[in-house]
Amino acid sequence: MLFWIIVKVGVKSLWANKLRSFLAMLGMIIGVGAVIAMLALGAGAKKQVLSQIATMGTNLLVISPAQSGSQGVISGTRQNLTVADARALRGVPGVARVAPVASGGAQVKAHNRNKPTRVTGTTGTYLGIRAFKIAQGRNMSDSECETMARIAVIGPNVATDLFGMEDPVGQKIKVKGITFTVIGVTEAKGDQGWFNPDDQVLIPYTTAMKQLFGQDYLKEADVQAEEGSDLKQVQAEITKALRARHRLLEGEDDDFYVRNQADFIAMATAFTATFTLLLGGVAGISLLVGGIGIMNIMLVSVAERTREIGIRKAIGATEGSIRMQFLLETMIISGLGGLLGVAFGIFSAWLFPILFKYIQPDMAFQTSVEPFSILLALGVSVGVGIFFGWYPARRAASLPPVEALRYE
Amino acid sequence: MADPHSIIRVQSLVKHYQVGDDTVRALDDVSFGIAAGEMVAITGPSGSGKSTLMHVLGCLDQADSGNYFLAGEDVAGLSSDRLAEIRNRRIGFVFQTFNLLPRMTALENVELPLLYAGRRNAKGPAAEALEKVGLKDRMHHTPSQLSGGQRQRVAIARALVTNPAMILADEPTGNLDTRMGGEILRLMSELNAEGRTILIVTHEPEIAQHCPRQIFLRNGKVVPETIRRGADSGPAPSP
C-alpha cells in the first residue's frame, strides 16, 4: 500500500519536472542503447564468422607457418612452408587431398574496368577442399597448375564487377601486367563479412609464386582428411611428418600451426568475445556517466524538497520511508530510461547495417540483439539507479526534521 | 509523579545552542505538566525559547538534558524511527505556514499520516476528518486552489486523522486575517470541548488568552504559571 503511494508520489514529482527528468533519463537511454547496439554488433560479427567457418569445407585442416619472434613479441610470419612440404603431406596417413595456397592482394583489370581483389594461387583440388562449386566453365587441371598456365577461375563478384552481364568464360583479365584467360566461375557462397569467398581470383600456384608474387614459400596448405577419420589423429600425424621435414629437435616448438574447424571456431569466438567486450566496455562507460547524471539531479531534487521532507517527517515518515521514496524515484528514472534505451538500442542495431550498406555497398555486416543483452542492460540500469540513488536518498533521510521544516 | 491524567510531564529541560562563540540557553530548567483534555497556550516574546520548547514537545528535536514524559513514556533518547512513530501516532501538528504538500489534493494530504502508520483504508477516515473541519466539498482540491483558512483547516484535519493524544499548533493564525484566525481558534476550542488536548504556541497575547491556561516563557525559563478559567478577556498578565 505505502509502496504504491510512494511510487505514485515519485511519478508525480518526476512529471512535475518533465524536462529535468527526461534529461536525467537521457543518460540512461543513451547508455543502455549503446550497450545493446554494441553487444548486437559483437553478436552479429560472431554469427557471421561462425557461418563463414561452417562453409569452409568439411574435414578441413589448415597448415600455416607459425609466427616468428621471441618471448611473446611477434615480429612477423615465418617463411618455412614449402611446396615440397605440401606434396609430402599427401603421403601422411588419413590425408585425402592437399592444396597449396599462396595468395596476395592485387588489381585485376579487364576491358577498361579494374577491381582490387584477392588472388589465390593454388591447385584444382582447392575448390573441392573448400567446398566451392563451378557455376560456369571448368576447374583448373593438375597439369595446368604444374606448368604455370595463365588461366583463372574467378569468383562471381569479380565476374559481375569486371564483365557485368557478359559471359566471362574465355575472356582475358590482367593481373600485374600478366594476362590470364578465364576458364571458370565459382558458385556464390554468400558474403561473410570479414572475408568474401566470392570476391577472389584463383590461379595456378606455380604462376602465382613465380610470376606474380615472387614468393618461395606458401601462405598455407589446405588438407582434407579422409571421410570418417579422426581429425585429432590426422593432425598429430601431420605434425609428426612436418616436424621431421623441418628437422625440429625434441623439445623445440612447432614452427607451424595445424588447425581444424573447431580451432577456427575457438579462435573466432575468442576474437569476437574480445571485440564484444571492448565495444560493451566503451558503452558501459556511457552508462556510468548516465548514472552520475541521475545522481546529480537527485541531489538537486533533495535540496529543493528539503521542506517537503521536513513535513513528511513531522507527520510520521521514518528515515526508511524517506530513503525508500528517493531511491524509488531514482529507480523509476533509471528503469524507465533503461526501457527506452532498450528500444533505442534495438532501433540502432537495426539501423546501423542499413546505413553502413549505404556508405559501403561492397561490405555487409549483421547485428543480432540477444535477449540476454536486453536483460543485462535492464538489470544494469536498475543497478545503476540503486547505486547512484543511494547517496541522495540517504542524505534526504538523515535531514534533521527541525532544520528541514525551517528551510525556505 | 506519573499522574494517570497527565499527557505531558517535563522536568528540568535544558537545551543549548551554539551561536558563534556564545552559548545560548534556549531552554533553561523548564518543568511543567499538562493534563489530558487541557487547552494550553505556550507564549512569550520572540527569543523566549517557545519554538525550541515546541520542537522538543513535538519530538522534532531532543533536549540536552531533563526528562520528557509523553503519555507516560520517557521520550528522551529514543531512536529516530521510534520518534517518527510517536509523531505519527501521538502528536498532530498544525503549522503557521500550513505545510501541506502542494502537489497533493486535500484528501491525499490528510491520508498521508495514516499511510505512514501503515493503515490500509485511509480514504474513509481522511474524508471524515475533512468533513469534521467543514471541507467535505473541497476534498479533491489542491492547496493552491484553497484559501488560507481552508488550508489551515486541511492541516487541522491532517493533525486529527490519526486520533493523536495532543494537537500541537505553532502560531496557527499567524498567516491568516483576524476573521479566519478567529474561525481556526473556534475550531480548536470545539475540538478541545470534545476532550482533545491542545497546545498553541503563540507570541500574540490575544490568541493566548483564548486558552484557559497559559505557560509564559522568558529567556528560556517558565515564568510562574497563571491559571485562568473560562474565556476571560483583558490584558495579558505581565509575568
The CA R_g of chain B, rounded to the nearest whole Å, is 18
Contact A318 B85 (CB under 8 A): yes
A98 and A232 belong to one structural domain: yes
Q: Is A205 a residue whose pLDDT tops 80? A: yes
Query: Is residue A314 a part of any domain in this protein?
Result: yes
A239 and A293 belong to one structural domain: no
The dihedral formed by the CA atoms of A291, A292, A297 and A302, expressed in degrees to the nearest 10: 100
* Amino acid (1-letter code) at residue A109: K
Q: How far is CA B70 from the centre of its chain?
A: 13
Domain boundary among A254, A275, A309: A254
Count how many Cα atoms sit within 13 Å of the Cα of residue A396 in the half-sphere of its side chain: 34
A279 and A400 belong to one structural domain: yes
A230 and A160 belong to one structural domain: yes
Query: Is residue A136 a part of any domain in this protein?
Result: yes
> A101-160 pLDDT, tens per residue?
998 888 999 988 888 999 999 999 999 888 889 999 999 998 898 899 999 999 999 999
Helix (H) or strand (E) holding A16: helix A2-16
Nearest CA in chain B to A12: B103
Question: Which residue of A1, A307, A402 is in closest CB contact with B120?
Answer: A1
A93 and A149 belong to one structural domain: yes
C-alpha span between A21 and A23 (Å, rounded): 5
Nearest CA in chain A to B168: A314
Query: Is residue A62 a part of any domain in this protein?
Result: no
Q: Whats the size of chain A, residue-wise?
A: 408
A225 and A88 belong to one structural domain: yes
Mean pLDDT over each residue of chain A, to the nearest integer:
87
Residue A396 to chain B, least CA–CA distance (Å): 14
Query: Is residue A259 a part of any domain in this protein?
Result: no
C-alpha cell at B137: 466539498
A98 and A178 belong to one structural domain: yes
C-alpha cell at A55: 562453409
C-alpha span between B205 and A203 (Å, rounded): 112
Residues of B in contact with A2 (CB under 8 A): 115-116, 118
A364 and A233 belong to one structural domain: no
Q: How confident is the model at residue A362 (pLDDT cuts 50, 70, 90)?
A: low
Domain boundary among A207, A229, A254: A254
Question: Which residue of B55, B80, B101 is in closest CB contact with A319?
Answer: B80
Identify the residue with better confidence: A48 or A402: A402
Domain boundary among A254, A281, A308: A254
Range of the structural domain that residue A153 is part of:
79-254
Query: Is residue A165 a part of any domain in this protein?
Result: yes
Residue B99 to chain A, least CA–CA distance (Å): 6
pLDDT along chain B (239 residues), means of 10: 73 89 89 93 89 92 91 87 92 93 91 88 92 93 93 94 92 90 92 93 90 91 63 44
Query: Is residue A260 a part of any domain in this protein?
Result: no
Contact A402 B99 (CB under 8 A): no
Helix (H) or strand (E) holding A295: helix A261-304
pTM: 0.70
Identify the residue with better confidence: B82 or A357: B82
A231 and A121 belong to one structural domain: yes
Q: Is A96 a residue whose pLDDT tops 60? A: yes
Residue B81 to chain A, least CA–CA distance (Å): 5
C-alpha span between B92 and B199 (Å, rounded): 10
Count how many Cα atoms sit within 13 Å of the Cα of residue A184 in the half-sphere of its side chain: 17
Check residue B4 and give its pLDDT: 57
Q: Is A1 a residue whose pLDDT tops 60? A: no
Q: How confident is the model at residue A343 (pLDDT cuts 50, 70, 90)?
A: very high
Q: What are phi and psi of B134, to 5 degrees?
A: 80, 30
Query: Is residue A218 a part of any domain in this protein?
Result: yes
C-alpha span between A305 and B13 (Å, rounded): 32
Query: Is residue A342 a part of any domain in this protein?
Result: yes
CB A385 within 8 A of CB A334: yes
C-alpha cell at A154: 574467378
C-alpha cell at A135: 557455376
Residues of A in contact with B100 (CB under 8 A): 311
C-alpha span between B169 and B2 (Å, rounded): 25
C-alpha span between A94 and A226 (Å, rounded): 5
A274 and A221 belong to one structural domain: no
The verdict on A402 touching B (C-beta cutoff 8 Å) is: yes
C-alpha span between A48 and B92 (Å, rounded): 69
Q: What angle do CA A274, A277, A283 make, to 5 degrees?
A: 145
Identify the residue with better confidence: A309 or A196: A309
Residues 6+ apart with CB under 8 A from A166: none
DSSP string, B13-44: EEEEEEETTEEEEEEEEEEEEEETT-EEEEE-
Beta-ladder partners of A105: A118
The verdict on A18 touching B (C-beta cutoff 8 Å) is: no
> A63-84 pLDDT, tens per residue?
888 877 666 666 677 778 889 8
Beta-ladder partners of A95: A225
CB A198 within 8 A of CB A156: yes
Contact A320 B58 (CB under 8 A): no
Check residue A155 and give its pLDDT: 93
Domains contained in chain A, number: 2
Question: Which residue of B60, B95, B162 is in closest CB contact with A401?
Answer: B60
CB A211 within 8 A of CB A180: no
A214 and A95 belong to one structural domain: yes
Contact A402 B60 (CB under 8 A): yes
Q: What domains are there in chain B, each with its CATH number? A: 38-63+79-227 (3.40.50.300)
A43 and A103 belong to one structural domain: no
Contact B87 A313 (CB under 8 A): yes
Q: Is A349 a residue whose pLDDT tops 60? A: yes
Q: What angle do CA B99, B103, B109 make, to 5 degrees?
A: 55
Contact A314 B87 (CB under 8 A): yes
Task: Supply the DSSP symbol for B103.
Answer: T
